[in-house]
């Protein structure tokens, strides 16, 4: 088991990619704190981990709220006494043109997607220093390749790439590693929301598959395997990296597009 005796926190662990990562961490032996704004969803993830014989607790958390994140840190230490892996995964996506985006929607997306990565890093860093731990930040192919109708989302995913490098250079000397994951389209909540925002969701889903060299969208478990690798000692000389798991999306447009 590659994460035995490790304590991991997964934000947005109640659904989609975050749930797959929480489950994968637990299957590799980690004790997992599932932090999600949706407490019921977090509890469902924890139940599925328990069903597999793993150790996990749910903590209802809003990553955009400083006191909620401080409570998450306290709950993590209270339950498990330490933290080795911080998986910053929680995000929302506003699928609108810039001029149609409400100021409140913009602010909420910024506060959740990049603000949440800042707050969790800020409050967990003292404890990650103690364990020479690892931070993994969920970016996206949209961190470098922008698509229509999601300007704010793409901006936050680009910001996460810069922030990841900043953690790496500020804290590498303390043994803390920080890396980013850049998935292509994955069959989970945010992609589904994007498809549903299009006039023909089924056509949008099919078209998304064609954008990938492998001619399909990915599965949450395919992202989770990369997260396990980056969290483990197998990635001991990796920091500041942005790693694609995108079926070739970032290589360019395949024939027929």
Ligand X SMILES: NC(=O)c1ccc[n+]([C@@H]2O[C@H](COP(=O)([O-])OP(=O)(O)OC[C@H]3O[C@@H](n4cnc5c(N)ncnc54)[C@H](O)[C@@H]3O)[C@@H](O)[C@H]2O)c1
Catalytic positions, written as ranges: 153
The window from 10-18, 50-58, 165-173, 198-206 that contacts ligand X (CB under 6 A) reads: 10-18
Burial status of residue 5 (CB atoms within 10 A of its CB: 0-12, 13-18, 19 or more):
exposed
**Which of 5/122 has CB closer to ligand X?**
122
Using CA of residue 137, residue 141, residue 145, residue 148, what is the dihedral sign?
A: negative
Q: How many residues interact with ligand X (rule CB under 6 A)?
A: 30
Nearest approach, Cβ of 171 to ligand X (angstroms)? 22
**Cα distance between residue 37 and residue 71, in whole Å:** 13
Query: Which region, judged by CB under 6 A, interacts with ligand X, from 30-38, 94-102, 119-127, 230-238?
Result: 30-38
113: three-class secondary structure by DSSP: helix
Q: Which of 59, 72, 73, 186 binds ligand X (CB under 6 A)?
A: 186
- Report in angstroms how near the CB of residue 208 gets to ligand X at its nearest: 8
CB of 194 to ligand X, least distance (A): 7
Query: Residue 86: beta bridge partners?
Result: 9, 135
Q: In what order do the strands lie in the sheet with 7-11?
A: 55-60, 31-36, 7-11, 85-88, 134-138, 177-183, 242-245
Q: From residue 57 to residue 96, what is the string marking binding to ligand X with x (rule CB under 6 A)? A: ----xxxx------------------------xxxx----
- Residue 53: exposure state from Cβ atoms within 10 A (0-12, 13-18, ≥19): exposed
Nearer to ligand X, 73 or 138 (CB): 138
Asked if 44 is part of the footprint of ligand X (rule: CB under 6 A), the reply reads: no
CA distance 58 to 34: 5
Are 45 and 22 in contact by the 8 Å Cβ rule? The answer is yes
Q: Which stretch binds ligand X (CB under 6 A): 13-21, 24-32, 123-131, 169-177?
A: 13-21
Rounded Cα–Cα distance for residues 182 and 227 (Å): 11
Q: Which stretch binds ligand X (CB under 6 A): 12-20, 95-103, 170-178, 235-243?
A: 12-20
Kindly tell me which of 46 and 191 has the beta carbon lying closer to ligand X.
191
User: In sequence order, what are the beta bridge partners of 36?
Assistant: 60
Residue from 6, 9, 10, 14 that binds ligand X (CB under 6 A)?
Answer: 14
**Interface residues with ligand X (CB under 6 A)?**
11-12, 14-18, 36-38, 41, 61-64, 89-92, 112, 116, 138, 140, 183, 185-186, 188-191
């Amino acid at each position: 088991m590659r994460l035995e005796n490790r304590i991991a926190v997964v934000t947005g662990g109640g659904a989609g990619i975050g749930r797959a990562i929480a489950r994968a961490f637990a299957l590799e032996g980690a004790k997992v704190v599932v932090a999600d704004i949706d407490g019921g969803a977090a509890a469902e993830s924890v139940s599925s981990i328990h069903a597999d014989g793993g150790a996990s607790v749910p903590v209802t958390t809003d990553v955009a709220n400083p006191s909620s994140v401080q409570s998450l840190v306290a709950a993590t230490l209270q339950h498990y006494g330490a933290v080795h892996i911080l998986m910053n995964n929680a995000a929302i996506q506003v699928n609108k043109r810039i001029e149609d985006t409400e100021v409140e929607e913009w602010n909420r997306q910024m506060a959740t997607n990049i603000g949440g990565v800042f707050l969790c890093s800020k409050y967990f860093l003292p404890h990650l220093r103690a364990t020479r731990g690892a931070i993994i930040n969920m970016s996206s192919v949209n961190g470098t390749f922008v698509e229509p109708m999601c300007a704010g989302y793409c901006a936050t995913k680009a910001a996460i790439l810069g922030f990841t490098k900043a953690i790496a250079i500020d804290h590498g000397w303390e043994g803390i590693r920080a890396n980013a994951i850049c998935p292509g389209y994955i069959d989970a909540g945010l992609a589904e929301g994007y498809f549903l925002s299009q006039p023909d969701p089924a056509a949008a889903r099919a078209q998304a598959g064609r954008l990938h060299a492998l001619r399909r969208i990915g599965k949450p478990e395919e992202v989770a395997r990369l997260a396990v690798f980056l969290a483990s000692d197998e990635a001991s000389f990796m920091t500041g990296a942005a790693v694609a798991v995108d079926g070739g999306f970032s290589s360019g447009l395949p024939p027929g597009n």
